[in-house]
Amino acid sequence: MQIIKIKHNDAGQRLDKFLSKAVKGLPQSLMYKYIRTKKIKVNRARTQQNYMLCEGDEIQLFIREEFFASPEQDAGALLRITPKLSIVYEDENIILLNKRPGVLVHEDTAAQENTLIMHLKAYLAQKGEYSPDQEQSFAPALCNRIDRNTGGIVIAAKNAEALRVMNEKIRNDELRKFYLCAVHGRMKKNEATLRAFLQKRSTENIVDVVDQARTGYKEIITKYKVRAEKGDVSLLEVELVTGRTHQIRAHLSHIGHPLLGDGKYGVNRADREKGYKFQALYAYRLRFDFADREGSLGYLDGKEFSIPMEDIWFLKDFQ
């Protein structure tokens, strides 16, 4: 028998969700069977898969030792990485990072360690704020994602409570996100609210945008203001009202103003010759606009953070 005691970062989640992270060698089908047949108990009593764990609970597992996988990473592995992070803001709960264009946020088969999340874990491990050997189900995590070739502010949670609360705030649209982008052409209006409908084609990693509602399409709302013009190029500040995949890139291309350097929704051969290796898009400003100030992150309500203008690579073309 193995006993797992629930720590602070483990509490507040369902039993089955916790076990899928804490006992990685246990197949999901067997996990549910063992809960039903009382081979997995909580506080020595029969339990349900959706039981919400509390700090101090004890899980008894009458299962084979082979299911208990060793940690995927140890603190030593994280100590070998030299963290390269541009920190916009940090406190005991969250950290805001300026992700540079070209940087992957999560691991893929080609880059296991040279990613934003790995550098974040290494940074926190070397500060003594995170030790994977001491955690049963939690690891520092990113709350939002930015495309590899886009730059901007990424929010990361340093503990489980902050991750749960921030994810809830994002789901409830309690954050305002502003972008700067350079687009081809001059806009007909200095500012406008654009509305359309978008469908994602997952297998091709691309989206389609249409003007009228269709089955399978979701509404998108994009606000913009013209900040500068130079020749046949416009600098826009964009606010996302909805946050769909590739929304800014696809929506602006749909109305005839593709982003400079965007090879997916524009024709960018000439842009690359001018030095645009990435799409000219930066998530440069973030404001926390919470419905209330209750909870562990209430102190962030009303706070606004932004990237220094000199860090946004394409702004030089508008000086």
Residue 319: pLDDT band (50, 70, 90) is confident
Q: Output the pLDDT for position 57.
A: 95
Q: Which CATH class is domain 175-318?
A: alpha beta
With a cut of 80, say whether residue 108 has pLDDT above it.
no
163-190 residue pLDDT tens: 999 999 999 999 999 999 999 999 999 9
Q: Which CATH class is domain 2-67?
A: alpha beta
With a cut of 80, say whether residue 158 has pLDDT above it.
yes
Query: What average pLDDT does the segment 247-273 reach?
Result: 93
Q: What is the CATH number of domain 75-171?
A: 3.30.2350.10
Range of weakest confidence among 28-32, 177-181, 224-228, 286-290:
28-32
Beta strands 175-184 and 151-157, pairing class: unpaired
Query: What average pLDDT does the segment 155-161 reach?
Result: 95
Mean predicted lDDT score pLDDT of the chain: 92
Q: Output the pLDDT for position 25.
A: 84
Q: Which residues of 90-105 are buried (b: 16+ CB within 10 A; e: fewer)?
A: beebbbbbbbbbebeb
66-89 residue pLDDT tens: 787 654 455 677 888 999 999 999
CATH 3.10.290.10 range(s) for the chain read 2-67
Q: Output the pLDDT for position 110.
A: 47
CATH 3.30.2350.10 range(s) for the chain read 75-171, 175-318
